[in-house]
A and B are shown apart, each in its own frame.
Chain A
Amino acid sequence: MRRQVPLVLCFFFGVTIILTRFSPHPFSQSFYEEVNSWALIIFPFAFVLATVTLIRSHVTRIRRRSEHWQYSFIVFAGLIAMVVIGVPFGPQHPVFEWLFNNIQVPMDATMFSLLAFFIASAAYRAFRARTFEATLLLVTAIIVMIGNVPIGDLIWSETSSVKQWILNNPNLSARRGIILGVSLGVISQSIRIILGIERSYLGGGD
């Protein structure tokens, strides 16, 4: 009951959806549309788990007085402020939008912009032409970096063309090899899931 029924459900929905792809019959198409609408209804509920898990982890931090536990109160302050305004008044309420535009937007962009500093530092310390392969990587990175900015064509008028050729040819081949390999893996994994061979999505226990 706890494992067999989900396996049967997965097999049933997997196989029938594949079959609808090969049948233009109106019943087949309306079945596919109905199942898609079911999946759309089910999906938002999964968000509950993610939110509760985060809230729980911060409650546990406060309870156990873990390192920097006081900051968990700040997490709750931000969360509650957004929810108290946003849930009853909607996401277009001016105060809700103000909090989003002046707190979340700048901090998100700033967090990721920190990486510019770390990339520069890491490139200086670790980007070494130790082997032939490492040299290939380094030279390509330099050409692409210079080819991406207007000053590249001032240094040599063909820089952006060379960059574009790299992206269009050797880069494309490597990416295509990766795409073919990864998608073959995903497809075979999907078949294993439908057939009940791969069951990790059921989690542990009975």
Chain B
Amino acid sequence: MELFGIWVTAFLTLCIYSFLYRDNPFYRFAEHLFIGVSVGYGIVLSIHQGFIPFAWDPFWAAVKPFWPGIPREAGWMGLLKLIPIAMGLLFFGGLSPRHTWLIRYPSAILVGFGSGISIPLMLQTFIFEQTRGTIEPFAAINAGTLSPWGIVEAVLMVVGVVCTLTYFFFSVEHRGPINWLSKVGIGFLMIGFGSAFGNTVMGRVALLIQRVDFLLNDWLGTIF
């Protein structure tokens, strides 16, 4: 079974690499099989690891005390969980064009909760903490604990952050000093994007190396 698996894997890998020559039926076969299998996997995991623990189990726990023949252990409070289950069921409204508006109810709860929880936490994580990180080195300069090179880096960081923000600041026209700051900001952004590109290349090449390693050693290793 393991050997068969290696051959299936190798065949499908080569089907996908055939796209490098040109689009062809082998590639399309593999591509569509991949979509089907991955959606199937997602459905199974969503049922077993999502629906059952989050929807079915609370539903059963809520109605069980009222089921004939089962002793009443829990009180009426368990029935509260039926509200979100009913809200979730409204998503099925999306299956009929006339009832699509029903989706708005569960969506509104999720969006409202998500917005409410994210506002204070995003302020803390992304605004306060990042501003602190930019200013804090100057406290070290004041205390005399930062090396001359460290001071250069601290100043460079503030210049970089301010200039990058200036580039994204569209409320004033980019003229004169603002234009210069914005141009310096573009320079910093280019360095940021350049480093992102360099790192992305590393990531994609790693994927290729792993596949070639499989083909040369695991698959061809079964033949030679």
A residues whose Cβ falls under 8 Å from a Cβ of B = 2-3, 5-7, 9-18, 21, 34-49, 51-52, 54, 68, 71-72, 74-83, 86-87, 90-91, 96, 98-104, 106-117, 119, 123, 132-134, 136-145, 147-149, 163, 166-184, 186-187, 190-191, 193-194, 201-203, 205-206
Contacts and interface: CB of A to CB of B under 8 A. Distances in A.
A142 B190 CA distance: 13
Interface of B: 1, 5, 8-9, 12-13, 16-17, 19-20, 28-51, 54-55, 58, 80-81, 83-85, 87-92, 94-95, 100-101, 103-123, 125-127, 130-131, 133-134, 153, 156-157, 159-165, 167-168, 185-195, 197-202, 204-205, 207-208, 210-211, 214
Contact of B48 (A21, A34, A45, A91): A91
Majority secondary structure of chain A interface residues (helix, strand, loop or mixed): helix
Output the residue of B34, B95, B167, B192 with the most chain A CB within 10 A: B192
Contacts of B39: 51, 54, 75, 78-79, 82
B201 A110 contact: no
23 contacts: A10-B108, A13-B109, A15-B116, A40-B54, A41-B84, A43-B88, A77-B36, A78-B40, A79-B40, A83-B43, A102-B8, A110-B13, A114-B19, A117-B20, A134-B190, A141-B197, A144-B194, A173-B164, A174-B164, A177-B162, A180-B131, A190-B114, A194-B112
B191 to A, nearest CB: 4
Given A38-B83, A114-B19, A187-B123, 17 more contacts: A9-B108, A13-B108, A38-B87, A43-B110, A44-B46, A77-B33, A78-B37, A79-B40, A109-B211, A113-B208, A115-B204, A137-B190, A140-B190, A163-B195, A178-B189, A187-B127, A190-B115
Output the residue of B31, B80, B92, B160 with the most chain A CB within 10 A: B160
A78 B194 contact: no
B201 to A, nearest CB: 6
